[in-house]
Structure 1
Amino acid sequence: MSDTPRMPDDLERFPGAGSLSWRYLGQWRLLTTIGRAIVLETAHPVVGAGVVEFSTYRRHPWRRVEQTLLSLQRLLYQDRADREREAARLRRLHGHINGVDPDGRTYSALDPEAQAWVHLTVFDALVLMCELGGDPLDDERQAELYAEWLLVGLQLGVPASEMPGTVPEFRVWFDEIVREKLVAGHGVEQLLDALGRLPAPAQLSFVPEAVWSAGCAVLGTAIRTAVATTLPPDYRERLGERGRVPFGARTVVSLACRTAAVASDLLPTKWVYMPLAATYIAAKREAGRGLRRFGPRDRSGDPATQLADLFVRILDQTGDGVLSWPDLAALARVFSDRLDLAAVDEEVMYAAFHAWWDELRATVDANGDGVVDADEYRVLAEAAPGAAMAALMVRVAAAVDRDGDGRIDQADYARLLGPDSVDTHRIGWLHAMDADGDGVVTVEEFAEALRESVLGRARSDTLEYVLGRA
């Protein structure tokens, strides 16, 4: 194995939109090879011992597949804070899986080698998915995907020293474990039996149980055969009769995988990817539209027109054509109501808006009539933000950050937008505020995005959604 250290700082380079991991992991066609990964995981003696004692296969045969796919999506596609929560949840969950196997050997789901094996069998499944689909990854793309997957492993807490550093090293390690450590134990038997039992979905509850059972017998055999076809030959022999592949099965599986690959190239994202992955992929695209900056080289909008539109639809809440304290008081009320602020925090919010109003009158009310019209407000677009305005935006952002951890996560943001907001849009708009692209929206970044929007230098879907609807 490589001795190259991989420190937690590497997580700053966590694979995001545009990475190979994002492209491949969430595709529905991973179902063609995820069975191989789960069987090989369970064949490891440590994992198999935990499966025998803690498994729910007999009662809920497909729960492991469903939970594995969901957890993988959470680990890869969600924002950094949510990824960290999912990784912590998995560590807590696995911390409860330990004991003594029938041969008297102690086991723990947190065993370092077992953790690395479970994690890296997914990389193996992704590579095989592409190979069987007719779009194999060349050496360069395999190396790129593997480097990404190591970072996901670090996020999970897999020790760097347990994960081979390169794809060639991984292949040697993988083959060695298959050859010398994997067993065809009771855990694998339970898993293969479970793959043949398909629970009837609620939509088909009208189908007689005998008919459904007969259909499952045929389909279950086909699924087990398809999974066996994807297993390494050495391990398939170890399975004996359960690993036998009938004549023609490889051709059928190859055809199915290629069909799935073609469909993935032709169908829209929402059908190609599993729900959580599809939501976040769409959200990243939405993020490009969620905060649109108007710079000298960006002709997507005219700053003057944008500022006039902002003034009429967002700032002039009373609709009298000018900006006055009642307008800003209305904005303070909207934020306070949406964030459900306590009385003392609401007073602070109103005070911050009033300080900005005093600053506006002192700096842009050129004729001294006590109100600010659109022409006077336009001066702000070319000026540096005043101290009161900058402080106000930080105050609003800090109020959104309910737990005070210095970052705005989806729960914080959803509280501001309300439960009726569309998930994809909400995630996309939040991502648009991530100025440095590190997967975390800090209070400062959120405040800057609001400030740039109020100055007419960018268009914020957040402000339009919250204040344009007020």
Structure 2
Amino acid sequence: MFGPGSEFHAFFHDPRWALAMVRATVLEAAHPQIGAALLDNSTFVTHPWRRLRNTFLSLQRMFGADDAVRHREADRLRRLHTRISGTDGQRRPYDAMDPAVRAWVVATLFESTVTMCRLGGQPLEQAVMERLYEEFRAYLAVMDGDADRLPLTLSEFWRYFDRVVEEDLENTEALRIILYKLFDHLPAPPALDGLPTLWATGRAFAGPLVGAVTVASLPESFRRRAGLPDIPGAETLTQTAYLAVGLARFLPEGWLRTDALANLLTASPDGDDPAARTVGAVRDGVKRAGALFRLLSPLPEQPGPPDAAVRPRGAEEFFREVLDQTGDGFVEWPDLAAMARELCGRLDLDAPQENRLYDAFADWWRELQAALDTDGDGRISAAEYAAAVPALAGPALIRVAEVLFDVTDADGNGVIDADEYRALFRTGFRRDLPSADGTYSRAAFVRDFLSFMAGRERSGPYDPVFAQA
């Protein structure tokens, strides 16, 4: 069911899967429970590239050949979802551990893969489709221990899918954000950070195109019921987009690997791994070309803001870029939980270590709330943060730093070596960070973490973890 011999493995590096993933995410967000959970807990608006990379990494672990890795990832996903529950704006409860909801997520991935092939001009044969469906049911069984939340046969699945589309899906706020806000305001990936004109130009063309293609590919009955626009020629555009993207499949083997592309998109240009060096070289080349163009242009050069890499953050900027992980304008527990979730995923922690880190962040949230929530509404606004404290490094935040050091120090020898450092920051040591013996001490680690989290100083290691998209 898994690994190189599976049907899914043939699609994992298919470039059309990028469009299919967007489509599946929209169908998930249209489910009221999932839409509410995304709004309250997800970083998909503020950190979409980070979310994309983590999603691909999780799928790679789940559908790989290693059973131990698969079950470890399934356990991690269960722990993650156990922490996500609440009520939506209509006071309806949501719970990420609801078996029916989790089955719908798997259903959207399977159905979008089938639709991807159909729109790309290569519809799946019945036997291939049935084997692929069995693989997705096996995926659900690993996650939940029971595949029966999805129908046993493929013919029954299509009736189930149509029923959920007709009876359960809604035009949720999360769906509208994905279709009409996310692509219009999509932040540049770290690879293109510092090239705002180039990114804005590409986004202005690609954003509406991806949105239109996604809407046109959704089930027609849902489009009508949700009031989504029916753009003339959109179906032809959708088929053309899938066909055009699909041509990349004929590039030489190894040129288009999903994991490599995801790593490249999220690599910090200032890192020292090969992908980061490639990104940095491309970015520097584009900047030099832009400087040459401005030199030859008759228009006078306009003064711009100071280099973001050296300009210190103000309190409101730090609040927006670092603390407000979900992008709703406030800091609440889900924002700090998102930080803990990202760290746990990077370090691939087991349950006891993960619980320690979450508990430390929960204590920090209580400390922040007690110190900064002046109006008692249970959340912290940017104004409350900026007015109350220019720097906050209380005992709970210090404890977060100490626990983060402990879980990063995988071998427990009291220092962080190069491999442990790379696991957390996805880049190698910088010259000014490790001690003389080539390690990172507890004192230096805690000091640098507190300097970033409380002092609002930009940080080469920590910005990619918490601030970059």
TM-score after normalising by structure 2 = 0.53
Q: Is the 8 A contact 2:7 2:132 kept in 1?
A: yes
Cα drift, residue 273 of structure 1: 3.1
Structure with larger Rg: 1
- Aligned position for 2:258: 274
For residue 68 of structure 1, what is the amino acid of its counterpart?
T
In structure 2, C-alpha distance between the alignment counterparts of 1:196 and 1:83, rounded to whole Å:
36
Match of 1:93 in 2: 80
What is the Cα deviation at residue 191 of structure 1?
A: 2.1
Equivalent residue pairs, number: 266
Tell me how far 1:28 sits from its aligned partner: 2.5
Distance 1:147 1:128 in 2: 17
Is residue 50 of structure 1 aligned with residue 42 of structure 2? no
Q: Are the equivalent residues in 1 in contact too, given 2:52–2:262 (CA < 8 A)?
A: no
Equivalent residue number for residue 127 of structure 1: 114
Who is 2:234 aligned against?
A: 249
Q: 2:58 aligns with which of 71, 78, 98?
A: 71
Tell me, what secondary structure is at the counterpart of 2:152?
coil
1:102 to 81, 84, 89: 89
Distance (whole Å) between structure 2 residues aligned to residue 130 and residue 90 of structure 1? 28
Query: Which ranges in structure 1 are unaligned for 5 or more consecutive residues?
Result: 1-13, 280-410, 413-417, 420-470
Aligned AA for 2:185?
A: R
The one-letter code of the counterpart of 1:195 is F
Cα distance in 2 between the residues matched to 1:167 and 1:63: 34
Q: In the aligned structure 2, how far is the partner of 1:252 from the partner of 1:115?
A: 32
Deviation at 1:18, TM superposition (A): 2.1
Whole-angstrom distance in 2 between the partners of 1:231 and 1:183: 13
Q: How does 1:378-393 map to 2 (within 5 A)?
A: none
Aligned equivalents of 2:109 and 2:187: distance in 1?
Answer: 25
Q: 1:190 & 1:101 partners in 2: Cα distance? A: 16
Is contact 1:26-1:274 (8 Å) kept?
Answer: yes
Instruction: Please state how far the C-alpha of 1:78 moved relative to its aligned partner.
Output: 4.8
Q: Per-residue displacement from partner, 1:374-426 (whole Å, max 9, x unpaired)?
A: xxxxxxxxxxxxxxxxxxxxxxxxxxxxxxxxxxxxx99xxxxx98xxxxxxx
Match of 2:133 in 1: 146
The letter of the residue matching 1:268 is: P
Query: Which residue pairs with 2:284 in the alignment?
Result: none
Distance in 2 between residues matched to 1:239 and 1:64, nearest whole Å: 26
One-letter amino acid of the structure 2 residue matched with residue 204 of structure 1: L
1:263 maps to what in 2?
Answer: 248
Contact 2:35 2:172 in 1 (8 A): yes
Instruction: Give the direction of change, closer, same or farther, for the CA distance of 1:152–1:208 in structure 2 (3 Å limit).
Output: closer
Q: Distance in 2 between matches of 1:15 and 1:61?
A: 27
Aligned to 1:179: 166
Matched residues in 1 for 2:171 and 2:216: separation? 16
Is the Cα contact below 8 Å between 1:236 and 1:244 reproduced in 2? Answer: yes
Amino acid at match of 2:182: A
**Structure 1 contact 196–224 (Cα < 8 Å) conserved:** no
Alignment match, 2:3: 16
Q: In 2, distance between residues paired with 1:159 and 1:187?
A: 28
Stretches of structure 2 lacking an aligned partner (at least 5 in a row): 264-409, 412-417, 420-469
Per-residue deviation, residues 333-386 of structure 1 (Å, max 9, x unmatched): xxxxxxxxxxxxxxxxxxxxxxxxxxxxxxxxxxxxxxxxxxxxxxxxxxxxxx
Q: Distance in 2 between the 1:39 and 1:71 partners? A: 19
* Counterpart pick for 2:16 among 25, 29, 47: 29
What CA deviation, in whole Å up to 9, does each residue of 1:171-191 have, x standing for no partner? Answer: 000000000100111121222
Evaluate the alpha carbon distance shift between residue 63 and residue 233 of structure 1 in structure 2; reply closer, same or farther with a 3 A threshold: farther
Normalising by structure 1, we get a TM-score of 0.52
Give 1:17's aligned amino acid: P
Residue in structure 1 matched with residue 183 of structure 2 by the alignment = 195
Same amino acid, percent of matched pairs: 38
Partner of 1:218: 205
Any idea what SS the aligned residue of 1:87 has?
helix
Q: 1:165 aligns with which of 152, 177, 186?
A: 152
Amino acid at match of 1:178: V
Matched, 1:60 2:75: no
